Structure 1
């Protein structure tokens, strides 16, 4: 139940994600006090690192699985109790940056047999914090999704059919104490970051 509703028409909150980047950091990394440091071209906002070039044809996508609600009845009464399945959040993205550091991160790989080579084993995963940063080049406004805990696995090997070789990754979100809990103690999994979040210039 919502106690107070304060929504209104706000055309300034429309974001067309013409450009964007994915930042990665050690699991449970917090966001910096000065959020204005996040820009498209920045390499590092300590401890966050820009994953680099990702596909413009296959933008990051977010999916939800589970969460179905079902009712249980008794002989006496219908729909006497309602239960909801656990929900899993995931994000898929395609990197187009074929350097050793990026491939190691996506595939959980390690140094291969020759300089620059990346060795890979199936089923390897990496736990990271993620910040998906999208930017509207018309309004110069940003929008983000902050995921302090995610398990990242490779999604396929490589797609060579487009303008650039694409390396898929899939991140499964986990609940994290780095997300501020709800007033009733409910632990969050991720945070939406609207435009005003990226204008914070705290000490």
Structure 2
């Protein structure tokens, strides 16, 4: 793995948002639009964390090989942050989605609380960089007991967000990488193009090894893609990437 200075992160600001279950991640993470809604003020000290349960390793062996395989149990993860607003919406996130609004406007604490189900998005900004966690389906509920310990700092509601599998997804949440988006595909042209849109152009021929060529058959005469220096060319010969343009 090469050293990539632009892939480091120092959080300068951030936001946590919810939307109906299944809502897609916004195209512009810096200006998410409806139905995404900000949950409110959050802690400057306890910014964000991920805890996990499960994932224990069990070594499975045979008579011939005592350490033949390793099997891991299912792992569940919880994202945590502290909400520092005590309005109705915030209280229902902490005490339960089924917390009733009483006739006097107060929020009742349910005897059998139910977590809030929603899509969840956490966005962190570091100068010109931004970094996000996205779950199309998650359960949000209290992560810890509430305590008001002094009169000089903002009180908070510790929340836990459990990402859940949505639909046929084989993943529960996604993370946007820093340091550029890797190219996963390359289409023949003069020059050709990389996908997804906005992906970083591979710097070397070796960096093309994981890029899928389109078409997968040998590229026709004159076809190529450019490498990051803007002058070096490469083409797909039907088996591997080769320097230059297709003969």
- Tell whether the 8 Å contact from 2:29 to 2:123 is kept in structure 1 after alignment: no
Rounded Cα–Cα distance in structure 2 between residues aligned with 1:62 and 1:161: 24
> Residues 166 and 178 from structure 1, CA distance in 2 versus in 1: closer, same or farther, beyond 3 angstroms?
farther
- Tell whether the 8 Å contact from 2:93 to 2:142 is kept in structure 1 after alignment: no
Is residue 74 of structure 1 aligned with residue 78 of structure 2? no
Structure 1: gaps of 5 or more residues: 1-6, 39-44, 180-186
Rounded Cα–Cα distance in structure 2 between residues aligned with 1:60 and 1:30: 22
**Among residues 107, 119, 140, which one is paired with 2:108 in the alignment?**
119
**Corresponding position of 1:64:** 52
**Corresponding position of 1:194:** 177
Is residue 175 of structure 1 aligned with residue 158 of structure 2? no
Displacement of 1:76 after TM fit? 4.4
Q: Which has the higher contact order (CA 8 A, sep 6+)?
A: 1
Structure 2: gaps of 5 or more residues: 182-196, 199-247
Give SS of 2:18's match. strand
Where in structure 2 are the equivalents of 1:108-187 lying within 5 Å?
108=96, 109-115=99-105, 117-121=106-110, 122-136=112-126, 139-162=127-150, 163-177=153-167, 187=170
How many matched pairs? 177
Further displaced range: 67-76 or 92-101: 67-76
> Residues 81 and 156 from structure 1, CA distance in 2 versus in 1: closer, same or farther, beyond 3 angstroms?
closer
Normalised by the length of structure 2, the TM-score is 0.64
**Corresponding position of 1:49:** 37
Give SS of 1:104's match. helix
Rounded Cα–Cα distance in structure 2 between residues aligned with 1:178 and 1:56: 36
- Tell whether the 8 Å contact from 2:81 to 2:159 is kept in structure 1 after alignment: yes
Is residue 14 of structure 1 aligned with residue 8 of structure 2? yes
